[in-house]
Structure 1
Amino acid sequence: MTLKELAIFYHLCEDSHLSNLAQRLGITQSAISLAIKSLEQKIGEQLFDRIGKKLILNEIGRLFKEKTHSHFVALNDAEDFFKDSKISGILNIASSKTIGDFMTPQIVFDFLTLHEHVTIQKDIKNSSQIIQMVKDAAIDIGFIESSCEDADICKEVIGDDQLIVVSADPCLGEGTFFIDELFFKKWILREKGSGTREVFLDALGVIAKELKIFMEFSEFEEAKTILLKNPQTITCLSRVAVEKELLRGELFEVKLFNLTIERKFYMIYNKNKYASKLFTEFKQFVC
């Protein structure tokens, strides 16, 4: 059954004079009759008794109206809502750890402030997991810290970041070192699949294989706790992740000879993703 057939049915319930209704709706009487016959065939029951030239709503018709009218009104309301060009819907996103902790919360808050009919469901995963989720269409948009060259994925740069080596050992904050001079320290790094880890090890090049990883972590607070309580430990993190600790003099940036580690933050989405108004608006808002 169609919304048009239902609309004619409800109109006919209020005014059973075909000529009056045809004039009011701007259609022919035969079009009204055909719509009602089509509706009755789909239901398998007659909704009106034909008494002479009159159509009288019968007991089946009254029940059908009672059971369906509220749903018809709701469907019309939904149609009108979307026709009003309001940005609405439910958007699923996932962010890598640095972006998810320090960037997307404010982005989501600001966007929801502008669009009251939108819901954003967000998750935090590592970059490799997010890439796979985008490929599988498990999420609408992903935010990652490492590049992605997959042919099925579109990517856009949304920001710049710098990775720095940090420690709670104040002596390391006073000099400048070659990176391999620090390999004797107890290195703690993000888990495999993390964009931060991948970018750092790629920057080291061939000597990365000489680095012994003492411990892995997934949460920034976990890493900071280890660093602050154990000055013999060292790690590489985004500057934004340790900004407060650096300002308070709790952690120290270890300056390096001939090694600056910079990276881009990316927004990614499946190349076949349907560009709804919500998707397009959020994408433009982020960029």
Structure 2
Amino acid sequence: MTLKELNFFYKLSDNPQVTQVAQELGISQSAISLAIKSLEKKLDEQLFDRVGKKLILNERGRFFKEKTISHYLALKDTQNIFQTNKLAGNIKIASSKTISNYLMPDIYYHFLSKYSDVKFDISTLNSTKIVQNILESNLDVGLIEIDINHSNLIKEKLCDDELIIVTSDKNAPKEAFIDTITKKWILRETGSGTKEIFINKLGKYALNLEVFMQLQDFEEIKTVVLDNKDTITAISKLALKKELEDKKLFQIKLKNLDFKRELYIVYHKDKSKNLLFNTFIEFLKDKFNR
């Protein structure tokens, strides 16, 4: 059934004069007759009694109207839904753990406060899984920590970040060569942007790095490092602000090495860029660059 067929049906149910309905709609009588016949054929029911030039709603037609009118009106409303609110929708987004835990909560809050008809379907995944989901069109937007290039991926810079080396041992040197550190390394799991950046930046030194433990969550890593002075980790500076200020964790700068990186927005190159999508992307860029 088409909305046009249903529209003719409801018009005729209120006014059996085909000529008058045709004039009101600005179409021919034959167009209305053909549409009604098509509707009746699809339902395998006669909805009108043909009395002269009138189409009189019969008992089956009255029953059909009673059961369908509310759904028809709801469908008609949906024709106008995007005309009345171009910034309504449900955005599927995933962020890597650094971004999700320490940057995005306030951004989600402020965007939803400004655009009340928007909903977020939020996931926290490592950067590799986010890229995979974007390429499979399971996500609208991804926020990642790794620099990746793919022919089907659009990547835009969000902001700068830096990984730092920290320990809870306040007597640890403030600066050291990587191969002189004897503490136990506690790192993120394979696939995380944090670990990938760290290992890539280490280059040849990564071959001799002995990783004591790998964990999925920053808070788990911080708990281990805080409770054990013989441990050390590489973690985003964004995740350590409070611990550094409270002097519970202490940075060790590595000689001749730095772990500066960029955070990125990614989305599929074939993603439709409607007003809602573009507004959200620009909102993210603005918030990250302040």
In the alignment, the residues of structure 1 paired with residue 129 and residue 25 of structure 2 have an alpha-carbon distance, to the nearest angstrom, of: 55
Question: In structure 1, what is the equivalent of residue 288 of structure 2?
Answer: none
Please report the RMSD computed on the Cα atoms of aligned residues, expressed in angstroms.
1.3
Contact 2:18 2:53 in 1 (8 A): no
- Cα deviation, residue 249, structure 1: 0.5
- Cα deviation, residue 50, structure 1: 0.4
Q: Is the deviation greater in 45-54 or in 25-34?
A: 25-34
Question: In structure 1, what is the equivalent of residue 52 of structure 2?
Answer: 52
Residue deviations 1:259-283, cap 9 Å, x none?
Answer: 1211110111111222233322222
- Cα deviation, residue 198, structure 1: 0.6
Residue deviations 1:211-233, cap 9 Å, x none?
Answer: 00001111111111111110110
Q: What letter is aligned with 1:2?
A: T
Identity %: 48
In the alignment, the residues of structure 2 paired with residue 113 and residue 27 of structure 1 have an alpha-carbon distance, to the nearest angstrom, of: 46
In the alignment, the residues of structure 1 paired with residue 38 and residue 117 of structure 2 have an alpha-carbon distance, to the nearest angstrom, of: 37
- Cα deviation, residue 207, structure 1: 1.2
TM-score (norm 2): 0.94
Question: In structure 1, what is the equivalent of residue 93 of structure 2?
Answer: 93
Q: Would you say 1:235 and 2:271 are equivalent positions?
A: no
* SS in structure 2 at match of 1:171: coil
- Once the two structures are superposed, the pairs formed by residues 20-31 of structure 1 within 5 Å of their partners are 20-31=20-31
- Cα deviation, residue 66, structure 1: 1.5
Q: Which runs of 5+ in 1 are unaligned?
A: none
Q: Is the deviation greater in 186-195 or in 277-286?
A: 277-286
- Cα deviation, residue 32, structure 1: 1.9
Q: What letter is aligned with 1:207?
A: Y
- Cα deviation, residue 201, structure 1: 0.8
Q: What letter is aligned with 2:81?
A: F
Question: In structure 2, what is the equivalent of residue 150 of structure 1?
Answer: 150
Q: What letter is aligned with 1:181?
A: T
Question: In structure 2, what is the equivalent of residue 4 of structure 1?
Answer: 4
Residue deviations 1:4-37, cap 9 Å, x none?
Answer: 1111111111111122222222222222222212
Question: In structure 2, what is the equivalent of residue 61 of structure 1?
Answer: 61
Q: What letter is aligned with 1:260?
A: D
Residue deviations 1:159-194, cap 9 Å, x none?
Answer: 11011000001122x532112211x11110000001
Structure 1 segments (4+ residues) deviating >6 Å: none
- Once the two structures are superposed, the pairs formed by residues 1-287 of structure 1 within 5 Å of their partners are 1-172=1-172, 174-182=173-181, 184-287=182-285
Q: Which runs of 5+ in 2 are unaligned?
A: 286-290
Q: What letter is aligned with 2:199?
A: L
- Cα deviation, residue 59, structure 1: 1.4
TM-score (norm 1): 0.95
